[in-house]
Amino acid sequence: MIEMLHDRDRIFRNLYGFHDAGLKGAISRGAWDGTKFFIDKGHDWIINEVKASGLRGRGGAGFPTGLKWSFMPKADPRPSYLVVNADESEPGSCKDREILRHDPHLLVEGALLASFAMRAHACYIYVRGEFIREREALQRAIDEAYEARLIGKNNVHGWDFDLYMHHGAGAYICGEETALLESLEGKRGNPRIKPPFPAVAGLWGCPTVVNNVETIAAVCPIVMMGGEEYAKIGIGKSTGTKLISASGHINKPGVYEIELGVPVEEFIFSDEYCGGIRNGKKLKAVVAGGSSVPILPTELILKTAKGEPRLMTYESLSDGGFQTGTMLGSGGFIVMDEDTSIVKNLFTFSRFYHHESCGQCSPCREGTGWIEKVLKKFLDGTAKESDVELLWDIQSKIEGKTICPLGEAAAWPVAAAIRHFKHEFLEIARNKKFVDISHYDRLNKIRA
């Protein structure tokens, strides 16, 4: 049974900013220690350690990191690039910003080691437009690293390496890796059709790996403890630790570093983590991995359909597929109590996806707007029972028919809400209930 994370296994030792985020503080926590030793071991040694660790991308899809790096060409006349995705815009996710603010040297050092492993002499960190303080903290760390000759040309590690911070303009779609690359190149952030994948033709048509902040920040601690040791933390193919952004109707919202494998029930109800549902209310539902993953009602988030305790792992959360399961995603864990209106919550998410759709593909461009309009009818008290079927029909025509997964991100929450809470839609339609959404009108006025 996985218990509370032992301090010695923590990757993020300054998650809450209690200590110095600068170079001195980072060194006192073990950063920049033995970096040259690891570099001297060679490119493939680092890739193999990361492979052995079982680390999976922390940006949402959970793709094995070492494997992704091994797709990069070893002898290619074009320059290679590492791009770090610090766009963190998924509703419910707020973990990367804590690394940027409080432990940016973990990211800077990780970027050097990961770039070296992939034979890249340059790395770009793409920071979400709204992250002003985070950008400043990251830039301070980059400047300190240059000044101490930890990075840059002729640095003490013997691998020329330039690190650039790029500040986005605040579009969710720029978190999608190919839209991010377009934006970095100075163009509109429109996702590209894949293939070619970034490892073949990424930034400026050159071999590129895009990784999440948390993924790259974990690299140095992993090579320091050794890939095999890291793999002992966690369960099965969900190795290591994961930052979970816990929000919603819980007593202790916050970002928690957990050992993968903690039972969901323990995560929600124990005092070490969320501390239970606030005001003594009952749990109604959870969105476990950020707004784009399927919502699950209490009985399915605490236990799988087979009756086994649901665990905080990639496998356990997705057990049962989307009929009875969900995804760990980026770890944006949104908890809803018994008073929550699932329809109103879905409207909030759907409105977001409509607003953020880049508009390149018709199913997403038209479908997201249509979903928002139909859901608004439920909130206005003008929906008919047949509108539930209509919503189902619209979402089913988006999945798998778009250039990028934003289409699915918009469709899955609708499908899951109807699958598990159809009675709420029908009740609203039958009783012509009105749901107060006046705050949206106020928001619209502020925006205008």
Ligand X SMILES: Cc1cc2nc3c(=O)[nH]c(=O)nc-3n(C[C@H](O)[C@H](O)[C@H](O)COP(=O)(O)O)c2cc1C
Q: Which residues are at the interface with ligand SF4 (CB under 6 A)? A: 173, 191, 357-361, 364-365, 402-404, 406-407
Which residue, 212 or 341, is less far from ligand X as judged by CB? 212
Our finding on whether 243 is near ligand X (CB under 6 A) is: no
Q: Which does 402 bind (CB under 5 to 8 A by kind): ligand X, ligand SF4, none?
A: ligand SF4
Cis peptide before 263 (omega within 30 of 0): no
Beta-carbon-side half-sphere exposure of residue 9 (alpha carbons within 13 Å): 21
Long-range contacts of 230-233 (CB under 8 A, 24+ apart): 230/52, 230/53, 230/54, 230/55, 231/52, 231/53, 231/54, 233/9, 233/259, 233/260
> What region does 223 belong to: left with phi over 0, alpha with psi -120 to 50, or beta?
alpha
Tell me the three-class secondary structure of 380-403, residue by residue: HCCCCCHHHHHHHHHHHCCCCCCC
Closest contact distance (angstroms) between CB of 75 and ligand SF4 is 33
Tell me how far, at minimum, the Cβ of 289 lies from ligand SF4, in Å: 19
**Cα within 13 Å of Cα(247), Cβ side:** 14
Given the complex with ligand SF4, which of 88 and 182 has the nearer CB atom? Answer: 182
Restricted to residues 51-80, the positions that interact with ligand X (CB under 6 A) are 57-61, 63
Beta carbons of 346 and 375 less than 8 angstroms apart: yes
Q: Which pairing describes strands 241-248 and 332-337: parallel, antiparallel, or unpaired?
A: parallel
Quick one: 191 or 261, whose CB is closer to ligand X? 191
Among 375, 442, 363, which residue's Cα sits nearest to residue 406?
Answer: 363
Nearest approach in angstroms of CB 270 to ligand X is 27
Identify the CA nearest to 220 among candidates 324, 108, 298. Answer: 108
409 binds ligand X per the rule CB under 6 A: yes
Q: Kindly state whether residue 325 participates in binding ligand X, applying the rule CB under 6 A.
A: no
173-212: contacts with ligand X (CB under 6 A): 173, 175-177, 210-212
By CB under 6 A, tell whether 107 contacts ligand X.
Answer: no
Out of 85, 155, 304, 340, point to the residue binding ligand X (CB under 6 A): 85
Residue whose CB is less far from ligand X, 107 or 173: 173
> What DSSP string runs through 293-353?
SPEEEHHHHHB-TTSPBPBSSHHHHHTTHHHH----TT-EEEEEETT--HHHHHHHHHHHH
Residue 58 site contact among ligand X, ligand SF4, none (CB < 5 to 8 Å, cut-off depends on kind): ligand X
Instruction: Decide: is 312 part of the binding site for ligand X (CB under 6 A).
Output: no
326 CB-near residues (< 8 Å, 6+ apart): 287, 288, 289, 293, 294, 295, 296, 301, 317, 318, 416
C-beta of 57 vs 110, nearer to ligand X = 57
> Number of C-alpha atoms within 13 angstroms, CB side, residue 149?
6
Least distance between ligand SF4 and beta carbon 332 (Å): 19
Asked if 318 is part of the footprint of ligand X (rule: CB under 6 A), the reply reads no
Q: Does residue 309 have a cis peptide bond before it, meaning omega lies within 30 degrees of 0?
A: no
**By the rule CB under 6 A, 301 interacts with ligand X:** no
Q: Which of ligand SF4, ligand X, none has residue 261 at its interface (CB below 5 to 8 Å by kind)?
A: none
- Quote the least distance from Cβ 259 to ligand X, whole Å: 19
Cα 445 from Cα 282, distance rounded (Å): 35
Measured from the CB atom, the residue of 49 and 90 that comes closer to ligand SF4 is: 90
Nearest to ligand SF4 of 95, 354 (CB atom): 354
Q: Which amino acid is at 391?
A: L
Is there binding between residue 215 and ligand X (CB under 6 A)? Answer: yes
* From ligand SF4, ligand X, none, interface partner of 257 (C-beta below 5 to 8 A by class): none
Residue 399 near ligand X by CB under 6 A: no
Binding segment for ligand X among 24-32, 171-179, 239-247, 294-302 (CB under 6 A)? 171-179
Our CB check for ligand SF4 shows the closer of 265 and 366 to be 366
Question: What letter does residue 22 receive in the DSSP assignment?
Answer: S
Q: How many CB atoms lie within 10 A of CB 308?
A: 11
Q: From the list ligand X, ligand SF4, none, pick the one residue 255 interacts with, judged by a Cβ distance below 5 to 8 Å according to partner type.
A: none
Among 89, 313, 360, 395, binds ligand X (CB under 6 A): 89
For ligand X, the binding residue among 223, 233, 404, 429 (CB under 6 A) is 404
Give me 9's structure tokens. 């296994």
The residues binding ligand X (CB under 6 A) are: 57-61, 63, 85, 87-90, 173, 175-177, 210-212, 215, 404-406, 409
